[in-house]
Structure 1
C-alpha cells in the first residue's frame, strides 16, 4: 500500500510524459521522411545539419524549465503555492528574453550560421530556406519546452501529451499541404513544424485557466539568484542538448571530410540514425521527465521512500524498453533505411551496418538518462552535470575523433555505444553502494515527529483510522481537545470523500493520513487517489455542509490542492 502512491503517480506521468516527448520526435521523423523522399539526400542532409539549432532551443528551454521546476515541485510538495508561482513566472520571463535574443542573433547572422553548420555549396540555398522560419520561431520553441515541463509539474501531464499530439497532427497535415500539394519544397517542412509548435503552445496555455491549476500567470521578474538556480539545477538535463548539437555538428564535419566522396551519403545515413534514435530517446526522456516531476514533489514532502521507489521503477521500465527497441532495430533495419529514401546497394549496406552497431547503445541509454534525471531532482546537480558532460560530450567526441576518420559512419556508431557503456559502468558503483539512498536519508529526513499510514478507502477503514489516530495521539501525549478534533476532522473528511468522491467504482481507492508535530500545533495532510474532488468546495445536504463548516471553523488553516494525480487536504489544528 505504501508504494502505491509513488508507483501510480510515476506510471501516470511516464505514460503521458512519453506521449509528450514523442511530439517533437514524430514531427522531426515526419519531416525527415518527407524531405528524404521528396527532395532527396541533399534535403535529408540539410535537415540533419539543422538539428543543432533545435537542440540549442531545447537546451535553453529545458535547462530553465527543468531547473525551475525542480524548485516549483518542491514548493508545491511543501504546499508553498505562493513561492511556486513566483518561480514559475520568473522562469517564463527568463525564457521569453532568451527566445527573443536567439531570434535577433540568428536572423542577423543567418548565412554565417548556415555555413558554420556545414551548409555549403549546393546545401547552402536549401539550408537558408529551411532555417529562416526556424530562426524567427525561436521564442516559440524555448517557451514551449518551459511551459510543457511546468504543466506536467502542475499535475496535468495529459494536457502536455495532448499538446504534443496537436503538434504531430498539425505538422503532418501541413507537411502534406505545403510540400506535396503546394510544392513549397524544404521551406514547407520548416513552416509546418513551426506552425505546429505554435498551436501546441496554445494548447498548453489552456491549463492555466483551469479551476484547480495551482500555477497562474503574473508578472515576476527573476533575480540573478533565480537564473543561477535554474541553470545549475537544469544543466544536467538541458546541457545534453547543447552537447548533442556540438557532437552532431562535429560529426557532420568529420563525415563530410571523407576522402572517398561519400560524405553527403554518410551525413544522410547519420540523419536516419539520429532521427530513429529519437523514438527510444523520447521514451527515455519521458521516463526521466516523469522522475524529475514526481521525485521533486516527493522531495518537497520529505518522502524519501517514495523517491527511491520511483527510481527503481524507472530503471526497470527503461531497461525493458531498451531491450525491446534494440531488438526491433536490429531486425527491422532494412525496411527502416529504405523508408527514408536511402537507395543503392552501397548506401544500403553501409547504413545497415552502422544502424545495427548503434542499436546496441540503446540498451544502456535509458538507465543513464533516468539516473541523471533522478540526481537532478534530488539536488545532486554536480553529479548530474558531470554525468552529462562525460556522456554527451567528452567521451563521445573523443571516441568520434578517433574512430570516424578511420571507419566513417560505422566508427560514429561505435562511438555512441562506447560512451554509453563507459558511463553506465560509472553509474553502477553509485547505485550499488547506495550513496543516493544515504543522501536522501540525510537531506530529506523530517526534523519533527511525523507519522503516516495508508488505508483502502471504504466505510470499514474509518474505524481503523480512528483507532490508529487515537493510539498516536496517546503516544505523542497530544491534549485531549486537540486529539478529539484531529479524529473528528479526519473522520468527517473521509466520510465526505466516500460519499461524493468515489465516482469510479471499478478503481481501487486508497488514502494516506500524515500527522506532523509542528511545535505544539499539528499539521494533518490527507492524500487520496479519487477523482478530482475538493470537499471544501462541494455540495451535499445540510448535515454535510455543517460538517465542513465546523472543520473550517476549528482549524487554523485549511487548503485543497490537486498535485500529481492526487487530492491533497492540508489542515493545521
Structure 2
C-alpha cells in the first residue's frame, strides 16, 4: 500500500498521467466498442430497422454504466482520499461496502429485467414496428445486466489500486471477444438482434472475470474486511459517484429525447441516422471519460495529501488532452462525413444524406464536451459535489432539454443536432462563471 501511495504522491506527474491515461482510454474504448460493433454488424446484417431498434435499447446500457460508476467512482474516490489521509482501515471498509452494494443492485436489476423486458422496451420508446426487435435485443442483455454494473465498479477500484493495465487488458479482451461472437451469432448462426446482445453480454461477463483476478494477486491491497454497514459511508459513496451517474443517465435520456423528437419530425429513418451519430458520440465520450477516470486516482490521493500543485498540473494536462481529442474528431467529421456513415451501413440514399447533414452540426459539440467532462471529474475527484453536479446536470439534462425544446422551432431538424452544441457551450460558460465567482468570494474573505 505504501509503495503504491508513494508512486502517486511523489513520482513525476507526467509519467503517472500518461500511464493512467493510456490504459484508461483503451479500457473505455473497449467498453464502447462492444456497442459500436453491435451497431456495425446489425447495420450490415439486419439493416436500418435493426439500427433503429438498437438505438432505442442503448439507454439501458447508460443505466448499467451509470450504476456501475455510481458505486465505482464514488467508492474509489472516497477510498483514495482516505488513503491520502492515511486512514487505511476506512479505505478497506469503503471497498467492502461498495462491492457488496454493487453485487446486490446488479442481481436485483437482472432478475427484474427478465420479467419486464416488454414494458422496458415500450418505456424506452419502442412502438409496434420496433418492439419485436427491441425485445430480442433486450432479452440477450437484461439477464446478465449485473455483469455490466460490476465491470465498471471493479475496474474503478483496480485502477485506484495502481493496476490500470489490468483494467485495460480486461476490457480489450472482452472487446475482441465481442467482435468474434457478433460475427458468429449474427452471420454464422443467424441469431439476429438476440445474437448481438448475447455477444455483448458474454463479453461483459468475461471482462468481470478477468478483472477479478486482481484480488488473487499478492500485491492487491483491496481487501474484503468485516464491517458495520454505515449510512454516512453510503451517503459519501453515492454523493461522490452521483456526477458520474448523472452523466450516464442523462446520456440515456438524451438518446430517448432525440429518438422521440426525430420520430416526430423525420420518422424511423431519423432514428436510424441518429443511431450512427450516437455511436460515434459514444466512442468520443468514452475517450473523454477515459481521461476523466485517468485523473481521478491521481487527483484524489494528492488532494487528500494536500499536494495541490500536482492536482492543478494534472487538471491542465487533462484539459489540453481533451481539447486535442475533440478537435481531431471534429475535423474528421467535417472532412470525411460519408466515410463515417459507410462504416455503419451499406445502405444509400436518405439515411446517408440525413446523417452527413447531422454530422456538420452535432460534431461541433466535441470541441467543448471533453472540457466539461474533465472539469466535472476534477471537482468530483476532490469531493466538490456541488460544482461537479452543476456540470453533470447542466450538460446532461437541463441545458440540453432547453435546447431541444427551443432550437427545432427555429432551425427545424437541424435544431435537434444543435441542441447538443448548445448544452455543452452553456455548461462551459456556467463552469467558467462558477470558477470566477469562487475566486471572487475567496478574495473577499481574505481581505
Check whether TM > 0.5. yes
Q: CA deviation at 1:130?
A: 0.4
Task: Look up the match of 1:361.
Answer: 365
1:125 equivalent in alignment to 2:132: yes
Contact 2:39 2:344 in 1 (8 A): yes
What do residues 375-421 of structure 1 show as CA deviations (whole Å, max 9, x unaligned)? Answer: 11112101111211111001101211233466565222100011111
CA distance in 1, matches of 2:108, 2:11: 45
Aligned pairs for 1:179-218 (under 5 A) are: 179-218=186-225
CA distance in 2, matches of 1:434, 1:316: 23
1:244 equivalent in alignment to 2:286: no
Q: Secondary structure at the match of 2:12?
A: helix
Match of 1:49 among 24, 46, 56: 56
CA distance in 1, matches of 2:350, 2:57: 26
Q: Which runs of 5+ in 1 are unaligned?
A: 443-573
Q: What TM-score, normalized to structure 2?
A: 0.93
CA distance in 2, matches of 1:71, 1:125: 43
1:343 equivalent in alignment to 2:350: no
Task: Look up the match of 1:140.
Answer: 147
Q: CA deviation at 1:434?
A: 7.3
Aligned pairs for 1:362-401 (under 5 A) are: 362-401=366-405
CA distance in 2, matches of 1:45, 1:221: 47
Q: Secondary structure at the match of 1:360?
A: helix
Query: Residue 296 and residue 72 in structure 1: after superposition, are their counterparts in 2 closer, same or farther (change >3 A)?
Result: same
Task: Look up the match of 2:5.
Answer: none
The structure with more radius of gyration:
1
Give the aligned CA root-mean-square deviation in angstroms.
2.1
Contact 1:72 1:84 in 2 (8 A): yes
Q: Tell which has more relative contact order, 1 or 2 (C-alpha 8 A, sep 6+).
A: 2
CA distance in 1, matches of 2:414, 2:195: 32
CA distance in 1, matches of 2:118, 2:37: 26
Q: CA deviation at 1:437?
A: 12
Q: CA deviation at 1:221?
A: 5.7
Task: Look up the match of 1:420.
Answer: 424
How many residues in Structure 1 have an aligned counterpart in Structure 2?
436
Task: Look up the match of 2:16.
Answer: 9
Contact 1:208 1:217 in 2 (8 A): no
Contact 2:243 2:380 in 1 (8 A): yes
What do residues 344-397 of structure 1 show as CA deviations (whole Å, max 9, x unaligned)? Answer: 333222211111211111000111000000011112101111211111001101
Match of 1:68 among 53, 57, 75: 75
Q: CA deviation at 1:69?
A: 1.0
Query: Residue 405 and residue 252 in structure 1: after superposition, are their counterparts in 2 closer, same or farther (change >3 A)?
Result: farther
Q: Secondary structure at the match of 1:361?
A: helix
CA distance in 2, matches of 1:355, 1:279: 14
Task: Look up the match of 2:102.
Answer: 95
CA distance in 2, matches of 1:73, 1:48: 36
CA distance in 2, matches of 1:268, 1:57: 23
Task: Look up the match of 1:171.
Answer: 178
What do residues 117-143 of structure 1 show as CA deviations (whole Å, max 9, x unaligned)? Answer: 122212111111100121111211111
Q: Secondary structure at the match of 2:336?
A: helix
Q: CA deviation at 1:283?
A: 1.4
Bigger shift: 94-103 or 173-182? 94-103
